[in-house]
Amino acid sequence: MTCIVGLVFNGVTYIGGDSLGSNGYSKTVRKDTKVFKLKDTNKAVVGYTSSYRMGQLLMYAKGLIDSRDEPNIDHEYLVTRFIPNTIKLFEDGGYSKNSSGEKTGGSFLLGYGDRLYQVSSDFQVGESIDGYDACGSGEEFALGSLKTTENSNMSPEERIHLALQAATKFSTSVVPPYQIINTYDDKVETYEN
């Protein structure tokens, strides 16, 4: 289920996502969004896949990123401070899984300022050299679209919208409406198709 798409453009990180909730057999177009700003900081945006429970825990959590640490939020900070806070949030919220001592969660994109990271289910924090990334069942289609538009004059919102449309066209588990947010302002762009 899901396609989350992110890219960095002119010092701003943009993240967009679809609206499908599915168990593999049935589907619901959800009103609650898969993209949002983290509480306690206006500089962090998240787009999630894997589980609505995981996303809701992230959406309403406080203190995942300590605003007193800004502007020193970087890869090291995310690995050593943000991820332990996230693991604790998932454990306390009943979402974390433990298999033979290995803790797992879900996948999401995290934009902070002008950086885009992918947090994987094993809690590793990755950053693509391309300046864009995607996760979820439609990620390959979205990444293909982003590659073909990387030298275009399209706006970041147009590129993400097109990538989400490509994922919808070729994946059975991605549907509009799409929401796109960024790390610069509080505007949420919604696209019905």
pTM for this prediction: 0.95
Looking at the DSSP assignment, which residues form a beta bridge with residue 189? 180
pLDDT for position 33: 94
Looking at the DSSP assignment, which residues form a beta bridge with residue 125? 119
d(CA 65, CA 178): 26
3-class state of residue 34 by DSSP: coil
Decide yes or no: CATH 3.60.20.10 for domain 3-191: yes
Tokens of 175: 């549907």
pLDDT for position 72: 79
How many beta carbons lie within 10 A of that of residue 26, not counting itself?
Answer: 7
Burial bucket for residue 70 (CB in 10 Å: 0-12, 13-18, 19+)? middle
Average model confidence (pLDDT) for the chain? 93
Tell me: the pLDDT tens digits for 117-150?
999 999 999 999 999 999 999 999 999 999 999 9
Domain locations in the chain as residue ranges = 3-191
Residue 155 vs residues 62, 104, 146: alpha-carbon distances, Å: 32, 35, 12
Tell me: the pLDDT tens digits for 150-161?
999 999 999 999
d(CA 176, CA 11): 27
